Amino acid sequence: MTAAATLAQNLLAQLQDAGAQVVTADILQPAETLLDLYGEDIRARAYVTHDPALGEMMLRPDFTVPVVQAHMQGGAEPARYCYAGPVFRKQDQGRAREYLQVGFELFARDNPARADAEVFARFAQLLSGYDLRPVTGDIGILKAAVAGLDTSARRKAALMRHIWRPKRFRALLERMGGQGPLAAPRAELLRALQVAPCATLLDQAGPLVGLRNEAQIAERVAALLEDAATPPVPAAQIAALEGLLSLSGGARDVARDLRAQGWDALVPALDRLEARLDALDDAGIDTSSLPFEASFGRTNMEYYDGFVFGFIAQRADMPPVATGGRYDALTTVLGQGREIPAVGGVIRPDTLVALGGGA
C-alpha cells in the first residue's frame, strides 16, 4: 500500500471509531445527475465516458452525490457516514488526476449549529498533527444579504443564482445599482416596446423556430419591462454588500462587526453564525482566533450553501488539504421533494503525505 493509502485507511478507521458508518460508491456514476447539478462546466473537470447501454457515465469526481443518494434511499436519521477511495478530476499540468479522498458526512435535522461544529471539530482533530491553517466562512450570510436588498424578487433571484460566480455576481450588482448605461441592445428593445407591443415585434421578427414559444418570449419581455421600471438598488446597500464580501478576521470579531452594522436582514443568519461559534467553543475550538473569510467557498464549492470550511497547507503550491461545508439545497435537489440537512467534508491524504510530518 502507498503511504497515502495507508493514511487513508488510518483516517477512515478513526472516523469509524467516532461512530461513522463506512459507505462505498461506484466509480462509474451516471453523468446526467452530475451535469444537472454542476452544469456543463463539470465536463471540463470530470472524465466522461460512454456506455453503450447506460449512456454517458462519469468517473466519480467526488463521493458526496452518491452518498447523499444512498442516504435518501432509506438511511436512518441522524446518520454519520465515512468513506475512502480515489476520485478523478481533469487537472492542469502537474496536479494529480487520480487522488484519494477520505470523507465524513453528517445528516441531521436537529441543531444544525451542533452538526456544523461536530464536523469541523472532527476534521480539526484528524488533522491536528499537521501544520495547516483553518479557514471558515458562511454562504448563508451572503444569501441573507442578497435577500435583504431593497429590490425586486426577480433581481434577488438572479443574484442568488450567481453567488458562486463572483465576476458575474459583481456585474449584475453594478447593473442593478444603475452604474453605467444600459446595454445598447436592451435600451433599443425597451424603446421599441414603447412604440409597439411585444406581439407586434414578434410579428416583425419573422417565423419563430424552436421549442421556446411566444408566451415564453412575452413573459420575459414583461419581466424586462418590470426590471426597467425597478429603481436601482440603493448605493449604500451595494457598498454594504461589497464590504461584507471583503470581511475577514477572527470569527468572533467578524460576527461582532456584522452585528454592529445594524443590518436587520442579517440578524437570523448572524444568530445562526453565533450559535455555531458557541457550539464550536463547546467542541473545544478557539473561535476568537478561528479565521473567518466572508468570501470563502464562493468559487469552487458550488453546492455549499451555509457553513464552509477548509484546512490549507502553508505552501501555496498545494491544493487545500481538506474542504467541507453544509449543503442542504443539494439534498433537496437530489431527494426529488425530500430533503435532509447535511454537512460534511473531505481530506486529501496524498497532499498530507506530500507535506510530510503529521501524527
Partner 1 sequence: MMLKLGVPSKGRLMEKTFDWFATHGLTLQRTGADREYAGSVAGVDGVELVLLSASEIPRELAAGRIHLGVTGSDLVRETLADWQAQVVELALMGFGHADLVVAVPKAWVDVETLDDLDAVAAAFRARHGFRLRIATKYHRLVREYLRAHGVADYQLVDSQGATEGTIKNLTAEAIADITSTGETLQANHLKILHDAPVHCSQATLFASRAADWRAVADIRTTLFAKLGVGDVGGLNG
Q: Which of 95, 212, 256, 315 binds partner 1 (CB under 8 A)?
A: 212
Query: Which residues, listed in sequence order, are joined to residue 48 by a DSSP beta bridge?
Result: 58
Is 343 a residue that touches partner 1 (CB under 8 A)?
A: no
Cell output for 181: 448605461
Q: What minimum distance in Å lies between the beta carbon of 169 and partner 1? A: 8
Q: What minimum distance in Å lies between the beta carbon of 70 and partner 1? A: 24
Q: Which of 2, 21, 22, 41 binds partner 1 (CB under 8 A)?
A: 41
**Site residues (CB under 8 A) for partner 1, limited to 128-157:** none
Q: Smaller CB distance to partner 1: residue 77 or 98?
A: 98
Is 97 a residue that touches partner 1 (CB under 8 A)?
A: no
Burial class (CB in 10 A: 0-12, 13-18, 19+), 321: buried
Cα–Cα distances in Å, from 103 out to 31, 229, 285, 308? 21, 49, 20, 15
Is 195 a residue that touches partner 1 (CB under 8 A)?
A: no
Which residue stretch of 166-174, 238-246, 261-269, 348-356 sits at the interface with partner 1 (rule: CB under 8 A)?
166-174
Burial class (CB in 10 A: 0-12, 13-18, 19+), 48: middle
Q: Which of 14, 162, 319, 354 binds partner 1 (CB under 8 A)?
A: 162
Residue with the three cell numbers 415585434: 201
Phi, psi of 300 (to 5 degrees): -120, 30
Q: What minimum distance in Å lies between the beta carbon of 187 and partner 1? A: 10
Q: From residue 55 to residue 94, what is the string marking binding to partner 1 with x (rule CB under 8 A)?
A: -------------------------------------xx-
Describe the strand order of the beta sheet including 55-59 as a list of residue ranges: 28-30, 55-59, 48-51
Which residue stretch of 37-45, 64-72, 124-132, 241-249 sits at the interface with partner 1 (rule: CB under 8 A)?
37-45
CA-CA-CA-CA torsion for 294, 296, 298, 303, nearest 10 degrees? -110
Which residue stretch of 1-9, 35-43, 52-60, 328-336 sits at the interface with partner 1 (rule: CB under 8 A)?
35-43
Q: From residue 219 to residue 258, what is the string marking binding to partner 1 with x (rule CB under 8 A)?
A: xxx--x----------------------------------
Is 210 a residue that touches partner 1 (CB under 8 A)?
A: yes
Q: Which of 109, 161, 256, 315 binds partner 1 (CB under 8 A)?
A: 161
Provide the pairing of β-strand 342-347 with 98-107. antiparallel
Cell output for 29: 456514476
Q: Which of 2, 16, 21, 36 binds partner 1 (CB under 8 A)?
A: 36
Is 198 a residue that touches partner 1 (CB under 8 A)?
A: yes
Phi, psi of 107 (to 5 degrees): -110, 115
Cα–Cα distances in Å, from 207 out to 70, 202, 218, 237, 296? 48, 9, 15, 44, 48
Binding site for partner 1 (CB under 8 A): 35-36, 39-41, 43-44, 92-93, 158, 161-162, 165, 167-168, 171, 183-186, 189, 198, 201-202, 205-212, 214, 216-217, 219-221, 224
